[in-house]
């Protein structure tokens, strides 16, 4: 399977500031990456599908101007949470699509907005 890293693993920021989360595919050229968020004791919610070199496709209800996604290369996608608020505090996880329909996930980034 693919090895996926995320940075940072945990970030605390003040309300109103922006935070960037990086997702890297370390051993696999990922044409497609996915961004999820997960609230405590809940399942993963897909936020957007990120395709290298093109605009991300956002799920219904996800504000594209608030959650900026850039997939600049086959190994790197970034998620920027703009003007973060306490309700944006969550666990953000990226994944890469494998050769079939499976996905391989990163370790996640815990965002706390104070």
User: 7: which residues sit within 8 A by CB, 6+ positions away?
Assistant: 21, 22, 24, 109
Does residue 42 touch other proteins according to CB under 8 A?
yes
Query: Which lies closer to other proteins via its Cβ, residue 83 or residue 102?
Result: 102
Tell me whether strands 32-38 and 10-13 are parallel, antiparallel or unpaired.
unpaired
Minimum Å distance from CB 12 to other proteins? 15
Residues that bind other proteins (CB under 8 A): 1, 4, 6, 32, 34, 42-44, 46, 49, 57, 91, 93, 95, 97, 100-108, 110
């Amino acid at each position: 399977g693919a090895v996926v890293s995320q940075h940072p693993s945990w970030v605390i920021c003040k309300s109103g500031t922006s935070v960037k989360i990086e997702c890297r595919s370390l051993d696999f050229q990922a044409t497609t990456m996915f961004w999820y968020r997960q609230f405590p004791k809940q399942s993963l919610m897909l936020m957007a599908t990120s395709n290298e070199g093109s605009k991300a496709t956002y799920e219904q209800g996800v504000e594209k101007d608030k959650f900026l996604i850039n997939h600049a290369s086959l190994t790197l996608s970034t998620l920027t949470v703009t003007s973060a608020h306490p309700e944006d505090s969550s666990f953000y996880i990226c994944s890469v699509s494998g050769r079939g329909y499976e996905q391989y996930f990163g370790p996640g980034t815990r965002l706390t907005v104070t």
